[in-house]
Structure 1
Amino acid sequence: MKHGHIRHQGQVQAISFDDPKRIALADGTILSEEQLEWLPPQCNTLFALGLNYADHAAELAFKAPTEPLVFIKAPNTITAHRTVTVRPDNVAYMHYECELVVVIGKTAKNVSRDDAMDYVQGYTLCNDYAVRDYLENYYRPNLRVKSRDTLTPLGPWIVDAADVPDPHNLALKTYVNGELTQAGTTRDMVFDIPFLIEYLSSFMMLSPGDMIATGTPEGLRDVLPGDEVVVEIEGIGRLVNRIVSEAEYQTQQQAG
């Protein structure tokens, strides 16, 4: 089962469905995924992993870390399926990052690796854009790199954990204007999901709805205003997003 939030006729609705081509709304209307205005499926704390794929670390000329590199994404960064992301003016390089996102289903504190998967509600995906101009240290990504408005599309929905038998064997892909530019597999995570839940819960409480974005494989490239970026994870979904300039975004905001 898939679960999400939409806005329909001005009202926010929570929906659950199996087939994205046939989604039943509260009033009985049947619509497809393409006909809906999607909202982020979850808005709790989003933990993000840096350099959690060895090939990605290598393409950046870094060694894979020996301990998770974790940072927290601010709520202002999160946006939804089929929305826009702003590329700041006068930056040289901004890239996408296709990532599997783990959604926590119950309060977790001092969870063992053996029990960790029992705390997973489900999975979604995100595109964790980064503005590389301000990346002074890959081990400490600062706010100008990762926490700008609209920088993290998330969704479209959450897939139940029971419907994803092996989250460590999923294909990840990114397309820019229809061209495949990134391809990898969750098999290549440096730190897997049980380890991350054990690690985070060892020093802080994880709450239902909290999320862990598990990193991205190699294959990054610069994106520009006008580009359509699609990130896709096998068995989870497809997240569509368009890059806009600051001027275009401001015009859109003023218009409505």
Structure 2
Amino acid sequence: MKLVRYGAPGAEKPGLIDADGNVRDLSGKIDDVAGAAIAPESLIALSSLDAAALPLVEGNPRLGPCVAGTGKFICIGLNYADHAEESGLAVPPEPVIFMKATSAICGPNDNLVIPRGSEKTDWEVELGVVIGKTAKYVSEEEALDYVAGYCTVHDVSERAFQIEHQGQWTKGKSADTFGPTGPWLVTKDEVADPQNLPMWLKVNGQTMQDGTTGTMVYGVAHLVSYLSRFMSLQPGDIISTGTPPGVGMGQKPPRYLKPGDVVELGIEGLGVQKQTCVADR
């Protein structure tokens, strides 16, 4: 099942994608794609609906972030060995955790706003894991029971803010529009193996990243279990699991985004995003 949120920013409605790729309105069934609506029992009930009987959403509506009510946007750094190598850094002995501000979350095709003073805005295609029920001290064996589904995430990064300024990575990761999510929240029953998903990213039509979740250092189950040792994971929380090689920082010479650039990215089965870069005013 592919769940979506459509409509104007801040006024999105819940929907699902039918067998023909149309958006069907779910607002008569759930308030939003959030909280209790993405709990296991709710997802089972939604999956039993006759999608063709739901109201058809006409036209080509804007798609918002695929999940609402995200309390934590947790990112994993250097989680692909080949990306760590291109960054000139060692593979970490434990997952590297940092937070991205939830105000960075936006729709998958919204403009990517390059912040004032930015010189090194970079791209990163990542697998997003959406939590469906509260997880605390969960084992790796049961970790996926707490996952509602998966989505494509663009973990946009301003490398100068992230690396060259003092402090933690968060300020280089959290500008408005630096967290496009979606287009869909794909429920976990449709993803046979989250560690076997091809992923790619293009800038102005040129392929920059072409990888697979199979080269993650720490897989999804391990990450959910590991994180749940340090904090409870709540419904709607997003874990962005790291990126394969090919980021702008790793190019020779480095290459960064500028106004007018178009970024396209996707993960097999999880949908495609497209953003046009614009300058912040």
Q: Which residue of 2 aligns with 1:243?
A: 277
Task: Please list the CA deviations of residues 145-190 of structure 1 after superposition, one character each: whole Å capped at 9, or x if unmatched.
Answer: 1111111111111001000001100101001122211110001111
- Unaligned 5+ runs, structure 2: 27-53, 249-255
Q: Which residue of 2 aligns with 1:177?
A: 204
Q: CA deviation at 1:217?
A: 0.5
Q: 1:11 to 1:117 in 2, by over 3 A?
A: closer
Q: 1:11 to 1:80 in 2, by over 3 A?
A: closer
Q: 1:133 to 1:153 in 2, by over 3 A?
A: same
- Counterparts of 2:11 and 2:157, CA distance in 1: 32
Pick one of 234, 244, 251 that aligns with 2:268: 234
Q: Which residue of 2 aligns with 1:253?
A: none
Q: CA deviation at 1:22?
A: 1.8
Q: 1:76 to 1:30 in 2, by over 3 A?
A: closer
- Counterparts of 1:192 and 1:119, CA distance in 2: 15
Q: CA deviation at 1:21?
A: 2.8
Q: CA deviation at 1:17?
A: 2.3
3-state SS of 2:111 partner = strand
Using structure 2 for the length normalisation, give the TM-score. Answer: 0.81
- Counterparts of 1:69 and 1:210, CA distance in 2: 17
Query: What is the letter of the counterpart of residue 39 of structure 1?
Result: G
Q: Which deviates more, 199-208 or 160-169? A: 199-208
- Counterparts of 2:164 and 2:150, CA distance in 1: 29
Q: Give the conservation status (yes or no) of the 8 Å contact 1:21–1:31.
A: no
Q: CA deviation at 1:142?
A: 2.9
Task: Please list the CA deviations of residues 18-38 of structure 1 after superposition, one character each: whole Å capped at 9, or x if unmatched.
Answer: 346322236833446xx1111
Q: Which residue of 1 aligns with 2:236?
A: 209
Using structure 1 for the length normalisation, give the TM-score. Answer: 0.88
Q: Which residue of 1 aligns with 2:2?
A: 2
**Runs (4+) of structure 1 moved beyond 6 Å?**
none
Matched, 1:15 2:15: yes
- Counterparts of 1:109 and 1:12, CA distance in 2: 30
3-state SS of 1:195 partner = helix
Q: Give the conservation status (yes or no) of the 8 Å contact 1:108–1:206.
A: yes
3-state SS of 2:160 partner = helix
Task: Please list the CA deviations of residues 77-109 of structure 1 after superposition, one character each: whole Å capped at 9, or x if unmatched.
Answer: 111121112112443321110000011111111
Matched, 1:49 2:76: yes
Query: What is the letter of the counterpart of residue 223 of structure 1?
Result: L
Query: What is the letter of the counterpart of residue 202 of structure 1?
Result: R
What is the count of residue pairs matched by the alignment?
243
Pick one of 112, 120, 123 that aligns with 1:93: 120
Percent pairwise identity: 38
CA RMSD of aligned residues (A): 2.0
Pick one of 248, 253, 259 that aligns with 1:225: 259
- Counterparts of 2:160 and 2:12, CA distance in 1: 37
Q: 1:134 to 1:30 in 2, by over 3 A?
A: closer
Q: CA deviation at 1:205?
A: 1.0
- Counterparts of 2:227 and 2:245, CA distance in 1: 25
Query: What is the letter of the counterpart of residue 231 of structure 1?
Result: L
Pick one of 54, 67, 83 that aligns with 2:94: 67
